[in-house]
Amino acid sequence: MSNQSNRIKFAAWMAGPIGRIARIAIGAVLVIVGVTMGGTSGVIVGLIGLVPVGLGMSNRCLISKAIGAPWKGEDAIDLVGS
C-alpha cells in the first residue's frame, strides 16, 4: 500500500465522526484549560483551542493538509470511496 494511500485513508478517518468528535473535544479541552489558567497565556491557549473546534465543526483538517491529503473532509472521503 502506498504512502499516499495511507495519507488519504487517515484524512478520511479524520473526516469521519470519530475524527471530528476527537478534534472538537480536544479543542474544547484546550478552551477550558485556557479559561482555567486565566491571564494572557490562558487567552492564547483558549484561542488555540478554538481552531480544532472550528475545523472539526466545518469538517476541515490541518493535519490532513500538512500531510498532503485533502483539506476538506468530504474530498478525502470521496477519494477513499473511489
pLDDT tens-digit readout, 43-75: 999 999 999 999 999 999 888 888 888 888 888
pLDDT of residue 40: 96
pLDDT of residue 50: 97
Domain boundaries defined on the chain: 28-82
pLDDT of residue 65: 83
9-13 mean pLDDT: 87
- Compute the distance between CA of residue 4 and CA of residue 76 in angstroms, rounded to an integer: 12
**pTM reported for the whole predicted model:** 0.81
**For residue 35, pLDDT beyond 90:** yes
DSSP letter assigned to residue 60: B
